[in-house]
Amino acid sequence: EAIVPKLMWALGQSSDLPVVKRIMETPIADDVVL
């Protein structure tokens, strides 16, 4: 459930796909992205 707000935040930070991918793969508050 927390993946959607994280993705929205990541897309707000950058529209560059590799940057968004790196943000999504970085754990924040012990979240896990599979």
Query: Helix (H, G, I), strand (E, B), or coil: what is residue 9?
Result: helix
> What's the whole-model pTM score?
0.70
**Whole domain around residue 28: which residue ranges?**
1-33
Total domain count, the chain: 1
Q: Counting Cβ atoms within 10 Å, is residue 18 exposed (0-12), middle (13-18) or buried (19+)? A: exposed
pLDDT one digit per residue (tens) for the chain, 34 residues:
678 999 999 999 999 999 999 999 988 877 766 6
Where does the chain have alpha helices with state H?
Answer: 3-13, 17-25
